[in-house]
Amino acid sequence: MLKDSIGYGKKTSVTLLVLCCLMAACAQPSGQSVDRLREWRQGVWMSGTGTYTVYTDDHYFVVSIEGDSAKPNLYCGASQVTFHRRGIARQQVLRLRQVPGHEITLFNRSIFQPDHTEAPLVIDTTLFVPGTCTIADGVIYDAITEMTDEFILLSTCNGDKEKIFSNGVSVYMPAGGGEFYSYRVSRL
């Protein structure tokens, strides 16, 4: 009887140990996804169309110049960014845009506090919904739709997707079709 109860106890202990290991393994991707997303996204990115993008821990900057002096297509933007295990949240604080044949538009949001420090970006993590991009209170929530060891797929605005690869390549896939590649040319 004692031998059976000891054997049963060992089986129960092994089962509990295996369950604990499985639970820990299942929980890890959540914590790792934010680190992986931040690591794979950060740096200076360049696309073939003349766009430079810089991602830091807390900011995202874009400079895009196409066309010529007769028909310039200009875009400059700065945003606050928060990396989360469920995606990237961003709030634009500066935008300068000129589309050929149109006047320059400018948007500027003050993010400074009275002590001259930057107000932190406050996000609602429940607004990250896989497969969709949510916009609320001026914050854009690009949700992780899929994550593997090779890439992270984000759902962005208007049904577009962006696939960020571990090797420093990113492909933007508009919902209407096509693919636009960017390459990380420098890490921060």
Segment 87-139, tens digit of pLDDT: 999 999 999 999 988 899 999 999 999 999 999 999 999 999 999 999 999 99
Q: Is residue 90 domain-resident?
A: yes
Q: Is residue 14 domain-resident?
A: no
Q: Is residue 13 domain-resident?
A: no
Q: Is residue 7 domain-resident?
A: no
Q: Count Cβ atoms below 10 Å from residue 61 Cβ, excluding itself.
A: 16
Amino acid in the structure at residue 24: A
pTM: 0.78
| Whether 90 contacts 60, CB under 8 Å | yes
Q: Is residue 170 domain-resident?
A: yes
Q: Is residue 20 domain-resident?
A: no
Q: Is residue 9 domain-resident?
A: no
DSSP secondary structure code for residue 74 in this structure: E
| Whether 162 contacts 145, CB under 8 Å | no
Q: Is residue 141 domain-resident?
A: yes
DSSP-based three-state secondary structure for 118: strand
Full residue range of the structural domain in which residue 52 is found: 35-111+121-186
Number of domains in the chain: 1
